[in-house]
Amino acid sequence: MILNVARTALLGLRRDRGALALSFALPIAFFTVFALIFGGSRDTTPRVTLIVVDEDKSEASQELVRALERDNSLWVHRTPVTKKGEPSGPEYTAATAEAAVRAGDAPVAIVIPQGYGQNPVAFGPSSKGAQIQLLYDASDQVAPQLVNGLLQKAAMTSMPASLAEQGMKVSGEYIGGYTAEQTRRMQQNLADLRAAVARREAERRSGTAPGDDEGAGGGVIAVNRRAVVGENKPNPMIAFYAAAFGVMFLMWTSSGTAGALLDEAESGTLDRVLSSRVSMSTLLAGKMTFAILLAFTQLVVMFVFGWLVFRVDLPHHIPGFVVMGLSTSFAVAAFGMLLASLCHTRAQLAALSTLVIMTMSVVGGSMFPRYFMPEAMQKAGLLTINAWAIDGFTKVFWRDLPVMDLWPQVSVLLAVGVALFLIARRVARRWEVA
Amino acid sequence: MVSGEKPGVSKPLEIERLVKRFGDLTAVNDVSLEVRAGECLGLLGPNGAGKSTLIRSIVGRVIPDAGRVAVFGAAAGSTEARMALGWVPQELAIYPRISCGENLGAFGRYYGLKGQALKEAIQWCLHWAALEDRSGELARNLSGGMKRRLNMAAGMLHRPKVLLFDEPTVGVDPQSRNRIFEMIAALRDEGAAVIYTTHYMEEAERLCEQIAIIDHGRIIAAGTKEELVRGAFGTRSQVLARFSGSEAAIGEWTERHGGRMVDGTAEFTIEQAAEIPRLLDDASRAGLELKDVSLRRPNLESVFLHLTGRELRE
């Protein structure tokens, strides 16, 4: 009898070929997506974009910048990125670098101030020299830590002469000064060390140098860290997660709402409605309007809850929230309509929704921030509604940008919504007449 | 069929040489019909005969491969035709999770009703379907018969002049069935043109003055019940006799005398009642023991059997 029950269930699944195919495609698709993100092939380590401002232009500061430029973990920019073929603009200044971080062009900037080269290494009683300023966007929890660590690494591996000189200076102060002979030998050794560093730099440029992974340590360069975005946020990541998870759940809701079309088609209600004065376009538009309102209401509830419980600053961001909320709801509702119109049964819709929504949520940054992902995956994220919605909400709640600055995200979301709706309308022709 | 149409006034429903194919299957094959105001046309045929496809062609939900459907002169699918038609599909095409009143409100709005007109339409439909005390009840909680009546009421909100009932009594108990007949008769008597599809002969006989028998997508006979019976059997009657004994022997004897076996009963068509004693004597001589015998006028079932060689409910 148990086998009979199982056999009947199997027959049902076999008849619904779409659901059958998706039930096997689903795990494979998820496996592929996660393998791409976390599988970690050699070149997939995400690089951090770093803006560097060298106000010192000393030998030590230039050595430091060169060491950072050589590091495979960083994209170092001294000038704003320009389109291919265009001449680079003026070098970043401390002010323009800070503005760039605020605007989200880069998660971190360092400013090497004038006078840094006189005391590049921070230890001993003379460690009161100019400190490197590390300006960062607190929404990215990885990049500032990474840059800080790489700064220390650069000091250890690229500035041995500076380290030695500073160490000797400090020792001299502790022991009451060196003899003339000691000072002469010390200068000689430092010169040799600098020559060795220069030689190694030349070898590296000619491609004959070994890897630069030797050396480690921390804290030898004094860094003054300062969050230039989100510094005064009471609960920094909550707005991000409200948007990230919100978009994902909106997708589920919209897909479920649009799934009513399948129920109505199966029960014959759709036929009856279409035999009245309601056309298919009107019907889809009506369903989509409901889905938009439901999605927007969900967002409102979620952010009000976030405001009341987690101190998300909703009251000061209402215009941006409304603009982003409606744009996101529009795109997500159209997405749901398309999914439903592509499917023939609820089982197919459930499987397809799971596949597409989970994939988009992973790639688009709803599960975890996109800056964790490899470069290619970050770019792929831009093909998802999630990424654009999250970017928009981040601009509103994190960067405090004005509504006008949301135009790229709003434009993309609206365009995506219109396109998906038109495709859904085209696919829905199968319901119109036989 | 029914006369009395004014010249120059479009007929409620005209179907001319309609053909609809689905791949190799011809679901509707060269069908021509017309229905006039105050007339109920019964579309009688077994399951799969093409009744629902024909109805869906009238509503505009199926695009025919050939032929024409006109509702008061307007093409099927046009706004004018939609507004003149009231379609009650075979399925329960209602929203189960909202109440009766809300269902009627929704469908009324889909037909463009609003305000007081909508309220009045809802009240009229609730009254017509005897669901006044169920207005606030969720549709899914109604009994089977009530759901059927709500399904019918949802197609009547805009007070259409041409009504299409596609097997509205499927799965309904006898009491609710009677109620449904009364509802349809009331609309017909008010002057609506009605098409009623069924595979129950009794329903067609009870409700419809005109009957069209459809099989394999083709209208094989049309007229009043009497016309159909006369056309198939003339003035002949049917003798129904049951015998005890071997089924094979009974079948062989029946066939030898030009009759046929239907559900264990031997059926013969005779011109005069005087033929009955001769038939029974012969049975007796063949060793068959008579259990009972009756004489009747052929009915629509007999007509269908006569025309197709199959029973209506096969």
pLDDT in tens, A186-240: 888 778 777 776 776 676 666 554 443 333 333 567 777 777 776 666 665 777 7
Residues of B in contact with A274 (CB under 8 A): 61
Least confident of A70-84, A121-135, A187-201: A121-135
Residue in chain A closest to B79 (alpha carbons) equals: A277
Q: Residues in chain B whose beta carbon is closer than 8 A to a beta carbon of chain A?
A: 22, 56, 59-63, 77, 79, 82-83, 85, 87, 89-96, 107, 110-112, 154-155
| Cα distances (angstroms) measured from residue A261 to each of A187, A267, A342, A354 | 83, 10, 11, 18
Distance between CA atoms of B260 and A257, rounded to whole angstroms?
A: 57
Q: Is the pLDDT of residue A338 over 90?
A: yes
Q: B56 Cβ partners below 8 Å, 6+ apart? A: A271, A434, B62
Residue in the structure block whose two tokens are 């490197």: A132
Quick one: A163 exposed, middle or buried, by C-beta within 10 A (0-12, 13-18, 19+)? buried
- By the CB < 8 Å criterion, does A274 face chain B? yes
Q: Distance, in angstroms, between A242 CA and closest chain B CA?
A: 32
Best CA proximity match to B94, nearest among A268, A259, A274, A345: A268
Contact (CB, 8 A) for A140 and A133: no
pLDDT at A351 over 50: yes
- Report which of B179, B49, B27, B84 is spatially closest to residue A277, judged by C-alpha positions: B84
Q: What is the pLDDT of residue A102?
A: 84
Q: Which residue of A has its CA nearest to B91?
A: A268
Amino acid at site B258? G
Q: For A163-185, what is the mean pLDDT? A: 78
User: Can you read off the two tokens belonging to residue B72?
Assistant: 């008061």
Q: Which of B50, B74, B49, B77 is nearest to B61 (CA)?
A: B77
Distance CA A36, CA B271 (A): 87
Confidence class of residue A153 from pLDDT cuts 50, 70 and 90? confident
* B77 chain-A contacts, CB cut-off 8 A: 433
Is A260 part of the contact surface with chain B (CB cutoff 8 Å)? no
**Which residue from B206, B282, B209 is spatially nearest to B239, judged by alpha carbons?**
B282
Of the spans A47-51, A123-127, B21-25, which averages the highest pLDDT? B21-25
**Residues B103 and B129: beta-carbon distance below 8 Å:** no
What residue ranges in A63-175 does DSSP mark as E strands?
Answer: 74-77, 108-112, 132-137
Tokens 């998820």 locate to A30
The CA distance from A328 to the nearest CA of chain B, in Å, is 29
Polymer length in residues for chain B = 314
* Confidence band for A87, pLDDT divided at 50, 70 and 90: low
Helices (H) and strands (E) in chain B, counts: 11, 14
* Least confident segment among A31-45, A79-93, A192-206, A367-381: A31-45
Cα–Cα distance measured from residue A406 to residue A304, given in angstroms and rounded to the nearest whole number: 21
From the CA of A358, how many Å to the nearest CA of chain B?
A: 30
A10–chain B Cβ distance below 8 A for any pair: no
d(CA B81, CA A280): 17
Strand partners, B212: B43, B222
The answer, yes or no, to whether residue A41 has pLDDT greater than 70, is: no
Strand partners, A137: A229
User: Chain centroid to CA A403: how far?
Assistant: 21
CA-to-CA distance for A183 and A161, rounded, in angstroms? 15
Which tokens belong to A212?
């630069």
| Residue A187, strand partner residues | none
User: Which residues of chain B are under the pLDDT cut of 70?
Assistant: 1-9, 310-314
Q: How far apart are CA B12 and CA A319, in angstroms?
A: 56
Kindly provide the b/e burial profile for residues B109-146, where b requires at least 16 CB atoms within 10 angstroms of the residue's own CB.
ebbebeeeebeebbeebbebbbbeebeeeebeebeebb
Report the C-alpha gap between B250 and B258 in whole angstroms. Answer: 13
Mean pLDDT along residues A385-411: 91
* pLDDT at residue number A217: 34
- The answer on pLDDT for A80 being more than 70 is yes
Q: Which pTM was predicted?
A: 0.73
Which candidate from A269, A275, A277 shows the least CB-CB separation from B61? A275
Residue-level pLDDT at B2: 39
- State the average pLDDT for chain A: 81
CA atoms in the 13 A half-sphere facing the CB of B258: 8
* pLDDT classification of A38: cutoffs 50, 70, 90: low
Mean pLDDT of A354-362: 89
Interchain pair A277, B154: CB under 8 A: no
Averaged pLDDT, A344-353: 89
Alpha helices in A128-222 (DSSP H): 143-158, 160-175, 180-206
CB contact under 8 A, B61 and A273: no
pLDDT of residue A126: 47
